[in-house]
A and B are shown apart, each in its own frame.
Chain A
Amino acid sequence: EVQLVESGGGLVQPGGSLRLSCAASGFTFSDYYMDWVRQAPGKGLEWVGRVRDKVNSYTTEYAASVKGRFTLSRDDSKNSVYLQMNSLETEDTAVYYCVKNIRLGSTRGVAFDLWGQGTLLTVS
């Protein structure tokens, strides 16, 4: 089955750290960019960041709101992507979704075609 399963959410105090994990299955994980998107309670969607594939040297991009505090990484041998979150703030409280990107030929990152179920982070 093609799916993404996030884990690692929970309750953290302001200033604390947490690492979210996302396990992928059912597709060739190493071929795709992976992103994280978050949604604060009752609010809209906010892109958090992206980690590219090996061909693109696993480079990363971040939203300004998390840059310098969050770090994205991936382990293609484990079909997993990770979000290390440091210096957490109450504004980081949200459901965090791991997402897979669509590829159109050699063009990557066209849209998000597979979402995990989400994991809730509460900073309080």
Chain B
Amino acid sequence: DIQLTQSPSFVSVSVGDRVTITCRASQAMNSYLAWYQQKPGKAPKILIYAASTLQSGVPLRFSGSGSGTEFTLTISSLQPEDFATYYCQQLNSYPLTFGGGTKVEIK
């Protein structure tokens, strides 16, 4: 199984800050890596797929990069609506797995 480790698990930031979340895979994988945003009481929402492709309708301040075993999600300038929990997911092999999540809170 491919284990995904997200870091940090928690980050406290201010509006306008740049945020980078890392997702490390336990073994090298192709670029079937996705990022999701989840707000309390809501279903997750896709942000990025195939490591770096922005889902339609997602603001350009979100970007994804990486390959092999290390992937990143960057929010260039955090907006109030971005405070949420973020998850990475690998769809390279079964079982599909998610990272443990990164909670982005207001400083």
Contact = CB atoms under 8 A, between A and B. Distances in A.
B50 A104 contact: yes
A97 B43 contact: yes
The size class of the interface chain B forms with chain A is 20 to 34
Main secondary structure of the interface of B (DSSP, over half): loop
A111 B98 contact: no
Contacts, number: 57
Interface residues of A, number: 22
Which of A35, A50, A61, A111: most chain B Cβ within 10 A? Answer: A111
Contact of B98 (A44, A62, A109, A117): A44
Pick from B34, B87, B99 the residue with the most CB of A within 10 Å. Answer: B34
B94 A111 contact: no
B29 interface: no
Nearest to A67: B95
Interface in A69-102: 97, 102
Given A47-B96, A110-B49, A110-B50, A115 B43 contact: yes
A110 to B, nearest CB: 6
A64 B49 contact: no
A110 B46 contact: no
10 contacts: A45-B38, A45-B98, A45-B101, A110-B32, A110-B34, A110-B50, A111-B34, A111-B46, A111-B50, A112-B89
